[in-house]
Structure 1
Amino acid sequence: MRRFAVVGVALSIGVCGLTEVGTAANPRIAAVQIGLRAHGFDPGPVDGLSGPLTRSALASFQRAKRLPDDGRLDRKTRRALGQRGRPLLGQRELAVGAVGWDVAVLEFRLRRRGLPRSAVDGRFTRSTATALRRYQRRQRLAPDGIAGPLTYRALAARSAARAHVVRAGESFFSIAARYHVSPWQLARRNGIPLTNVIVPDQRLVLPAGARLSAPVVTGPPASRDAVRAAIDRWALVYGVDPRLARALAWMESGFQQDVVSSVGAVGVMQLLPETWEFVDTVVLGVRTPRNYVGNVRAGVRYLRWQLDQFGGNVRLALAGWYQGARAVREIGLYDDTKLFVRVVLSLYGTV
């Protein structure tokens, strides 16, 4: 591949340093996750989020390479990743056959152009080239399937973040419902605790995936009363306090069935597809329908599973829901996990 300097283009996705837990997927974190996988360490799903599994895997990798195991990415750590840690996106032309950090970053950004998740692996294949051509056509560039200076300039161009100006009587939950996003993600995107009061004329930046029109969902639209009834029903079946299940569901989605997060969590209970599949296959032994009833059933059963993992301790079960049971046991609760738990408990008995 031909190397070159991209004059006048500062790609933010090429900045070194693994950030803390973010509110939106970050391509450079995805590149770290792909690099760790290539070296035999499990960072969890390649989702671009610096969660506990990613930080733990990075720290383990650093220990194996006799580097400070602080779970942060620096030049020495990137160097230790070898071919998977270099070069930064924009430093060379990319085409079929290329392997590296820059390819991983590019592929992660091409997911919205039809690149399958399984193909996001840091190797520039024909699938990568096909997705890149789609992106180039959309940007009115020559669709040659090769990433060069013009493609990098298009990638570096930033559009203004979508925002909402608060009106009288609005809350995080009503705004989240309007844009079909999670109230929790809306609050985190703005660095404001969900328990805080927002005021008219306050400007809120909307998280990824915000939209005014509802997406196509499986099954007929469900009212909040119907969602609440489904939660209460399955809570009774699985021996879960319905007030706890409702508080969790309200925190996650505001009882919306059509919310899809930036990392692919779906429905009322905001279940990742792999979590939903785990509940169906391992916990329930049956496939639940992919509608709001099935989502609620799987979510409440997963909450029951978390409660069982921690001997009925509600605080730890909620932490396990948010952070993962294994991570809670091995690492403890992160600050954002503690905040999540605190807000859910504050909603207990109010929804």
Structure 2
Amino acid sequence: MRSLFLCFLLVLMFLVNLYRTFPDNYYEFISNYSYDIDPRLVQSIIWVESNFNEKAVSPAGAFGLMQLMPSTAEWLQERFSLDGNFQDPECNILYGIFYLRFLRDLYGGDMDKAIMAYNVGPTALRKGKNLESARRYLKKVKRTYLIYRFLYHER
């Protein structure tokens, strides 16, 4: 009986740690704007990009939850008539969703290519640059997506 209790306690601790590691942050906001993209996929990209650090800045200059380059954010503002400060966490997510949707449409609905292009850029992907890095990124996003779907399957 004691070993059963210890097993239960270990599983419970493992699950609590998983929920802490993969938070459900911004789910409602993402759900309101992601429409045809699974909000859990967007959360997975945020987790991989910034680990939900709103103030994250990459060495290349990408910033925020979805790690947008300033030039990409400015292009998105013009292209889709977006308002708001793209450094604001919710605006950053909104811009990232628009960019991901644009990339998905650019690649004829191929979400894998869209995710890889999100990481390395559509021009680099088209030219075959950084393909190994893009593939690793895609695997990481997909692995994280499976975890999010497992943890928050009720939605």
TM class by shorter-chain length?
A: 0.7 to 0.9
**Aligned partner (choices 94, 114, 127) of residue 297 of structure 1:** 94
Following the alignment from structure 2 to structure 1, what is the Cα–Cα distance between the partners of residues 63 and 120?
Answer: 17
Corresponding position of 1:233: 32
Deviations 1:277-303 (A, max 9, x none): 111111x21223331110000001100
Q: Percent identity, aligned pairs only?
A: 27
Corresponding pairs, count: 130
For residue 266 of structure 1, report the CA deviation from its aligned partner: 1.0
Q: Looking at CA atoms only, which structure, 1 or 2, has the larger radius of gyration? A: 1
Larger proportion of helix: 2
1:1-351 pair list within 5 angstroms = 225-236=24-35, 239-282=36-79, 284-289=80-85, 290-331=87-128, 334-351=131-148
Instruction: Give the CA deviation at 1:257.
Output: 1.0
CA distance, structure 2, for counterparts of residue 344 and residue 226 of structure 1: 16
- Unmatched segments (≥5 aa) in structure 2: 1-13, 149-155
Q: In the aligned structure 2, how far is the partner of 1:324 from the partner of 1:248?
A: 15
- Structure number with greater CO (CA < 8 Å, separation at least 6) is 2
Provide the rounded CA distance (Å) in 2 between the counterparts of 1:254 and 1:227: 12
- Please tell me whether the aligned partners of residues 228 and 255 of structure 1 are also in contact (alpha carbons under 8 angstroms): no
Q: CA RMSD in A?
A: 2.3
Alpha-carbon separation, structure 1, partners of 2:63 and 2:119: 14
**What secondary structure does 2:138 align onto?**
helix
Q: Contact 2:27–2:39 (CA<8 Å) still a contact in 1?
A: no
Asked if the contact 2:103/2:118 (under 8 Å) is kept, the reply is: yes
Displacement of 1:229 in angstroms is 2.4
Which amino acid letter does the alignment assign opposite residue 229 of structure 1?
A: E
When normalised by structure 2's length, the TM-score is 0.74
The residue type paired with residue 230 of structure 1 is F
Where structure 1 has 5 or more consecutive residues not aligned to the other structure, the ranges are 1-168, 175-223
